[in-house]
């Protein structure tokens, strides 16, 4: 089954989630070929929930001994976070690529949008760790709408906000249904807190230090007292801030080898932009779905 829509292409319902046709083969290759290592750290997100930000935080945090944060040619100052923490299906397994990722230095920092139930078996059986990030569905949707309709240079036929919103509510969105994606990881993170850390964009925005320390503890690389006293936590947060990253030359003018500009991953970087687009009807419709889907789960989104 397919739906016409975003990315000027088709979405296929594969194993119950919507995957852009362009990435379907790569998702399958990832599922069939990827051998997780115990030391792997895999970032999982719903698209447009702040993946770029968390990739940068993760890279800075895990590599802080090898690459001290204030060094002038820190990799994050000269490369885009998506290059430093590549997507399995969008990059490493895309288009029949044969990069030998078993040779990456450990711990390997990798990323995916694939839902929990469709992850390769080796991820489940290994001691690899999953860091999950989501964002409130209103801001995620608005960010996705901008991303697909305004930011991609070759997008010919923009979807109206209403069209895309109706699809989103039906569960048709990048790697959606959104609710299934979030709920599965949420439940698994409760069952297995040493395997999955569940983070929310809004919480990182509001209490960045607490969330970064949570991440460091989960990854078993907590900040020492000396590091805390010398301001490393703040240094990481400042380096990875929206203002800093989005103004770097590499992120303003750099491109992927496929030609897509890095700048498409930086737009506003705030909570609450949905207010500039959502009608009361849209809020009501989405609230209704969210209430029904997340009822009893204990998960609450923050919209401001």
How far is 201 from 224, CA to CA, in rounded Å?
A: 25
196-200 and 129-134 beta bridge pairing: parallel
How far is 240 from 242, CA to CA, in rounded Å?
A: 7
Question: What does the binding site for ligand A3P look like in residue numbers (CB under 6 A)?
Answer: 45, 47-53, 139, 143, 146, 240-242, 245, 265-269, 273
CB atoms within 10 A of CB 296: 5
How far is 287 from 268, CA to CA, in rounded Å?
A: 24
How far is 234 from 200, CA to CA, in rounded Å?
A: 19
How far is 161 from 166, CA to CA, in rounded Å?
A: 9
Minimum distance from CB of 190 to ligand A3P (Å)? 23
Minimum distance from CB of 83 to ligand A3P (Å)? 13
Q: Is the distance from CB of 258 to CB of 153 less than 8 angstroms?
A: no
Minimum distance from CB of 204 to ligand A3P (Å)? 8
User: SS3 for 85?
Assistant: coil
Q: Is the distance from CB of 155 to CB of 8 less than 8 angstroms?
A: yes
Structure tokens that stand for 140 in this block? 């995620």
Instruction: Give the Cα-Cα-Cα angle 223, 229, 67 (nearest 5 degrees).
Output: 55
Minimum distance from CB of 299 to ligand A3P (Å)? 19
How far is 78 from 156, CA to CA, in rounded Å?
A: 31
Structure tokens that stand for 240 in this block? 């990875």
Minimum distance from CB of 271 to ligand A3P (Å)? 9
Minimum distance from CB of 107 to ligand A3P (Å)? 21
CB nearer ligand A3P, residue 19 or residue 38:
19
How far is 69 from 67, CA to CA, in rounded Å?
A: 6
How far is 102 from 5, CA to CA, in rounded Å?
A: 36
Catalytic residue at 67?
A: no
CB nearer ligand A3P, residue 48 or residue 64:
48
Active-site residue, selected from the candidate residues 113, 124, 155, 181 = 113
List active site positions. Answer: 113
């Amino acid at each position: 089954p397919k739906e016409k829509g975003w990315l000027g292409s088709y979405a296929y319902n594969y194993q119950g989630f919507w995957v852009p046709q362009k990435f379907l083969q790569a998702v399958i290759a990832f599922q069939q070929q990827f051998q997780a290592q115990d030391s792997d750290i895999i970032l999982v997100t719903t698209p447009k929930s702040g993946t770029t930000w968390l990739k940068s935080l993760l890279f800075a945090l895990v590599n802080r001994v090898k690459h001290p944060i204030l060094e002038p040619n820190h990799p994050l100052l000269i490369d885009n976070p998506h290059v430093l923490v590549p997507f399995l299906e969008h990059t490493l397994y895309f288009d029949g690529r044969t990069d030998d990722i078993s040779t990456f230095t450990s711990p390997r920092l990798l990323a995916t949008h694939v839902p929990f139930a469709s992850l390769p078996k080796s991820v489940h059986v290994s001691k690899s760790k999953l860091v999950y990030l989501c964002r409130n569905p209103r801001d995620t949707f608005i960010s996705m709408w901008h991303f697909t309709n305004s930011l991609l240079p070759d997008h010919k036929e923009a979807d109206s906000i209403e069209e895309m919103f109706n699809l989103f509510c039906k569960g048709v969105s990048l790697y959606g249904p959104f609710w299934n994606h979030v709920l599965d990881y949420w439940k698994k993170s409760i069952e297995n807190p040493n395997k999955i850390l569940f983070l929310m964009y809004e919480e990182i925005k509001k209490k960045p230090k607490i969330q970064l320390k949570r991440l460091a503890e989960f990854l078993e690389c907590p900040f020492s007292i000396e590091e805390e006293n010398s301001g490393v936590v703040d240094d990481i947060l400042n380096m990875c801030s929206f203002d800093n990253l989005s103004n770097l030359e590499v992120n303003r003018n750099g491109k992927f080898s496929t030609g897509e500009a890095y700048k498409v991953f930086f737009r506003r970087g705030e909570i609450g932009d949905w207010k500039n687009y959502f009608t009361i009807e849209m809020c009501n419709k989405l609230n209704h779905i969210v209430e029904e889907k997340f009822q009893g789960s204990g998960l609450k989104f923050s919209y401001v």
